[in-house]
Structure 1
Amino acid sequence: MGKWLLPESLADILPAEARRIEELRRLLLDLYRTYGYELVMPPLVEYLDSLLSASGGDMDLHTFKLVDQMSGRSLGIRADMTPQVTRIDAHLLNRAGTTRLCYCGSVLHTLPRGLWATREPLQIGAELYGHAGPEADIEVLQLALESVRRAGVADYRIDLSHLDVVRALLETDPAAAARADEIFNLLREKDVPGLAALGPDLAPATTQALQVLPTLYGDLDVLEKARAVLPALPRISQALDMLAALAKALPGVDIGIDLADVRSFNYHTGVVFAVYCGGWPNAVVRGGRYDDVGRVFGRARPATGFSLDLRELAGLLAPATASSAVRAPWGLEPDLAQAVRALRAAGQIVVQILPGHEHDQQEFVCDRELVLRNGAWRVEPLASAEPAARPSPSTAI
């Protein structure tokens, strides 16, 4: 094997893609700040029991583990930043009212989470703590969709679900509750024959409802169909009402309903959602409500939020175009150095050409050049610039 090879599902990020990802990071963090979300930066590695305790065990198989040479305790490389942010809200900030936090950083997965997925996502997200009402869910949904729109993705759809639909069925059937993990796995696979095979052990009404859940997928009409075919349990009715209210708060958005979406059932507690974009097989954004997860850190709080992978999001956009730049000669003359500093202070990209590299190709398209005219450095159009690059007018420095 060549020393340049990387492990499977890991990749370097090259200049054009790195620039696009960094621009997205700045764009989205600035967006979240306008909504009142404060940036936090948790560490890459934590004690394993802290990382996994707030995830309901769902992240155990996805977390790289190692031993701390200082304490002898087991450490984990974070596979998700949400439990860390929950710890910060519950234990460090300890605020009485609502708290809005956002974050961005690399996470590491033992296995890729989907087709074409990387094992090192650059996760960015926002979490809202302290409010149990639907207003918090609506704000988080709106912010998640605005994230996709601001990035420049026009073709997207959001799927909504509510875990109380399934939990209500399990509450009424002790035999089903005893096999909850198996049932949730079958629902995630939409395995109707597997659900039917549970029939002899469960109440007939439970078996019938579980078999119909995978078919309750589609547009908003699914909600009315669900009311007709599912048991008339108060918790189910409240969940369907909640989904209808959320859909009403998102006018003009392509909304789907998937009542068999029970991912992270040990973690999420209510509404869950996923945003899908054309051209990508995996959900680009995932989120939902996870009330009381902070209990393991000493403080139970209502909580809802979302996260996405900036690398996936950047991959949905058109290839990054080369940036226009000013070509300048190399030199240490004070007037040349001052001219270059002034251009860079104004936000211009200035590439000083090193001796012997006048024709090297770079990421930047030099469509202007800094030239000395009549004792003053001036920016002029570069005759050999790419035709698509629009030159700036001549400017004296």
Structure 2
Amino acid sequence: MNVDAAKSLLPDGLRDLLPPEAEHEAWAVAALVGRFRQEGYQRVDPPLVEFEDGLLAGPGAGTAPHTFRLMDPVSQRMMGLRADITVQVARIAVSRLTRQPRPLRLCYAGPTLRVRGTQLRPERQVTQAGCEIIGSRSAAADAEAIALAANALDTIGVPDLSVDIALPTLAPRLVDGLGLAAADRVAARDALDRRDAAAVRALGGEAARLLGAILDASGRAGPALAALQAIDGLPDDGRAEIARLADVLPRLAEAAPGLAVTVDAVERRGFEYQTGLSFTLFAKGVRGELGRGGRYLAGAENGGAGEPATGFTLYMDSVMRGARAATAEPRCFLPAELAAEAGPRLRAAGWVTLAGLDPVGDARGEARRLKCTHFIDPAVGAGSDPLPVD
């Protein structure tokens, strides 16, 4: 069948997943969710589209620039097509599951769509998989989230994992507490975002000393933590964040001993709705981050204080670039005259079978044409073992 080339084109950032790539991603998602469930996380499945005022409330406000909008022809209300699943899981936790005991552990997997991609992630449709822990302030929850993400990725063969831990609220709170003029506050935050040590020094005085010390306290987890702990003059909330980091690191080392850990105390981009310790996962040789996670408040948009929460989201487009390669799946061709008798027996034994629809003279040749690895020889009979094509 000929197809008009123009009609087969897809919008930028969207693509078809074909065999065996689609099967490989489905396997990886199932393996990740299976690992989450082994640690007690229960799966939820939010809808792809929600009313805009709910989807973009609270933490969801950060996804507003990335969200496709459309009019619901039934209710005449605006709806949004989700760009992130975390905010939906938080909504479920504080509404539909509000009476469930805490901490509440939930996991999910599904497609998301963004208005535009980025230079590092040009894909606009990305499958996400992740977990959320709702209702715990414990440092153990932070360590559990990071370790589970890393261990789940290890399950599907992603090598050379590392995690970069950030304290995205530390620098902004410090800048706001230094008594700087409005223009200097903007300049300070911009200098930290650009890692511009000269611009930080140009602020002068206590601002230059404290912000410069935080900027320098980045790198391998042990030395970075020691440098942060050695800074004099930090406010109490800053000290509390560093104390939490000190509590999380040994727990993480025990739960994920092979994980390389770094600390970046000034990173905040990409963590707009995070309220504390956050993290980004990478793998050597894999373009882009594999996932992100961290502290946030679930349900704060409803007028209350919100529930403490932490969790992570894995981006399957990046994850699949690091996951172990798919192995060729044995497939057995069944000649049409033997399919009804041989098929149930072979499938019960774990074979993938492909039944012929019409009789053929050369079962081996037909199996090779259909890219099967094995076939049943009609001359031997339906009860025979599959024979290799080559």
TM over 0.5: yes
Q: CA RMSD in A?
A: 2.6
Name which of 85, 90, 104 aligns with 1:99.
104
Cα distance in 1 for partners of 2:138, 2:348 equals: 47
Range moving further from structure 2, 217-226 or 312-321 = 312-321
Name which of 339, 342, 346 aligns with 2:345.
342
Whether the aligned pair in 2 keeps the contact of 1:107 and 1:120 (CA below 8 Å) is yes
Cα distance in 2 for partners of 1:328, 1:308 equals: 40
TM-score (norm 2): 0.87
Matched, 1:352 2:347: no
Whether the aligned pair in 2 keeps the contact of 1:46 and 1:76 (CA below 8 Å) is yes
1:72 is displaced (CA, Å) by: 2.4
Cα distance in 1 for partners of 2:238, 2:187 equals: 21
Whether the aligned pair in 2 keeps the contact of 1:37 and 1:102 (CA below 8 Å) is yes
Aligned ranges 1:41-60 → 2 under 5 Å: 41-55=45-59, 57-60=61-64
Cα distance in 2 for partners of 1:311, 1:345 equals: 33
Cα distance in 2 for partners of 1:99, 1:239 equals: 23
Cα distance in 2 for partners of 1:182, 1:59 equals: 25
Residue equivalent to 1:242? 244
**Offset from partner CA, 1:159-205 (integer Å, 9 cap, x none):** 112234224403423546888777555534434456566x3xxx832
Cα distance in 2 for partners of 1:25, 1:180 equals: 43
Residue equivalent to 1:219? 220
Residue equivalent to 2:150? 145
Matched, 1:84 2:92: no
Change (3 A) 1:284 1:24: same
Residue equivalent to 1:205? 206
Name which of 295, 300, 305 aligns with 1:295.
300
Cα distance in 2 for partners of 1:267, 1:219 equals: 25
Whether the aligned pair in 2 keeps the contact of 1:323 and 1:365 (CA below 8 Å) is no
Change (3 A) 1:104 1:230: farther
Change (3 A) 1:181 1:16: farther
**Offset from partner CA, 1:326-361 (integer Å, 9 cap, x none):** 221013x6xx41321121133211122344681664
Letter in 2 for 1:302: P
Aligned residues: 374
Letter in 1 for 2:227: K
Letter in 1 for 2:151: E
Name which of 129, 136, 144 aligns with 2:141.
136
Cα distance in 1 for partners of 2:123, 2:38 equals: 30
Structure 1 residues without counterparts, runs of 5 or longer: 386-397
Cα distance in 1 for partners of 2:108, 2:369 equals: 36
Change (3 A) 1:148 1:181: farther
Whether the aligned pair in 2 keeps the contact of 1:288 and 1:304 (CA below 8 Å) is yes
- Which 4+ stretches in 1 moved above 6 angstroms? 176-182
Cα distance in 2 for partners of 1:140, 1:36 equals: 12
Cα distance in 1 for partners of 2:89, 2:322 equals: 27
Name which of 9, 20, 23 aligns with 1:16.
20
Aligned ranges 1:301-320 → 2 under 5 Å: 301-320=307-326
1:116 is displaced (CA, Å) by: 4.2
Whether the aligned pair in 1 keeps the contact of 2:14 and 2:125 (CA below 8 Å) is yes
1:232 is displaced (CA, Å) by: 3.3
Identity among equivalent positions (%) equals 30
Cα distance in 2 for partners of 1:271, 1:209 equals: 19
1:212 is displaced (CA, Å) by: 4.5
Aligned ranges 1:21-36 → 2 under 5 Å: 21-36=25-40
Aligned ranges 1:63-78 → 2 under 5 Å: 63-78=67-82
Whether the aligned pair in 2 keeps the contact of 1:326 and 1:351 (CA below 8 Å) is yes
**Offset from partner CA, 1:131-168 (integer Å, 9 cap, x none):** 11112112111111111111101211111122342244
Change (3 A) 1:211 1:342: same
Residue equivalent to 2:65? 61
Cα distance in 1 for partners of 2:260, 2:237 equals: 26
Change (3 A) 1:34 1:189: same
Name which of 259, 262, 266 aligns with 1:256.
262
Structure 2 residues without counterparts, runs of 5 or longer: none
**Which secondary structure state, in structure 1, belongs to the residue aligned with residue 108 of structure 2?**
strand
Letter in 2 for 1:242: R
**Offset from partner CA, 1:13-59 (integer Å, 9 cap, x none):** 11111111111111111111111111111111111121111226321
